[in-house]
């Protein structure tokens, strides 16, 4: 195991349990809608057709899961997987509100040990979750395993800007993160975790190399917001 997050799984699980109820509100306010635009970029690059089997890892409150289900349609199958029960509870409510309860299955499980046979899905995604697992390489290996031959993997994640001016601005912005969270009722320490994990996660180039080690080909990434985020795409 190569640790990419040194926080224990229990610590991370407890943190997400605390923030689950306000996670969407706080992230939408703090990100100024950036994450929504990044998800749109994912679908611009992903080859997703009606009737496909899709898996959304670390699905959280289900935004990306819902978008996948809408693309795959009633003839497809969409699974949202997360290890945190409160986040899945919120995801279930949002999926029901979207009228997609029949199209979406929610599974509580560890992304490092997926409870699915080899070659189960045509698409596997993970949005803003890879930096929260202890071993990102193991998650990539599992994603590759459960993909069908020719299937696509897509990862949205925070990254490190390379432009010096953007880097300074991004660091200053992240320092405000916990204080903004407190204004909306969040716990500063929890959002400080989100800040530090985003800053300490592997670079976009390093993640591309990890995808290669996991077996993916046709690998590439796109910088988002001048490198503050990255969209990685690979194929089995």
Distance CA 7, CA 9 (A): 7
Indicate the burial class of 113 (C-beta count within 10 angstroms; 0-12, 13-18, 19 or more).
Answer: exposed
Distance CA 223, CA 219 (A): 14
Q: Is 82 annotated as a binding residue?
A: yes
Tallying the residues shown for the chain, one arrives at 236
Helix (H) or strand (E) holding 39: helix 34-45
Q: Is 63 annotated as a binding residue?
A: no
Q: Is 110 annotated as a binding residue?
A: yes
Indicate the burial class of 160 (C-beta count within 10 angstroms; 0-12, 13-18, 19 or more).
Answer: buried
3-class state of residue 223 by DSSP? strand
Main-chain dihedrals φ then ψ at residue 190, nearest 5 degrees: -70, -40
Sign of torsion over alpha carbons 122, 88, 115, 9: positive
Tell me which residue of 167, 69, 62, 168 sits closest to 107, measured CA to CA: 62
Helix axes 164-183, 188-200, angle to 10 degrees: 160
Distance CA 176, CA 192 (A): 9
Q: Is 135 annotated as a binding residue?
A: no
- Residues annotated in a binding site for S-adenosyl-L-methionine: 61, 82, 110-111
- Residues annotated in a binding site: 61, 82, 110-111
């Amino acid at each position: 195991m190569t640790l990419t997050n040194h926080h224990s799984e229990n610590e991370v699980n407890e943190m997400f349990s605390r923030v689950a109820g306000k996670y969407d509100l706080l992230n939408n306010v703090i990100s100024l809608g950036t994450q929504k635009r990044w998800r749109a970029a994912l679908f611009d690059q992903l080859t997703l057709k009606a009737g496909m089997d899709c898996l959304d890892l670390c699905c959280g409150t289900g935004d990306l899961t819902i978008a996948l289900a809408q693309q795959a349609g009633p003839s497809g199958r969409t699974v949202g997987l997360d290890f945190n029960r409160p986040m899945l509870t919120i995801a279930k409510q949002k999926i029901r509100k979207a009228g997609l309860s029949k199209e979406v299955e929610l599974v509580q499980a560890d992304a490092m040990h997926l409870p699915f046979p080899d070659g189960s899905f045509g698409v596997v995604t993970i949005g803003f979750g890879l930096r929260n697992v202890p071993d990102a390489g193991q998650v990539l290996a599992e994603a590759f395993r459960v993909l069908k031959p020719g299937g696509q993997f897509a990862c949205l994640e925070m990254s490190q800007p390379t432009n010096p001016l953007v880097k300074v601005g991004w660091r200053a912005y992240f320092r405000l993160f916990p204080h903004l969270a407190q204004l909306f009722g969040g716990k500063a320490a929890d959002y400080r975790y989100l800040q530090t994990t985003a800053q300490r996660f592997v670079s976009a180039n390093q993640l591309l190399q990890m995808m290669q080690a996991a077996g993916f080909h046709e690998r590439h990434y796109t910088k988002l917001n001048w490198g503050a985020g990255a969209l990685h795409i690979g194929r089995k």
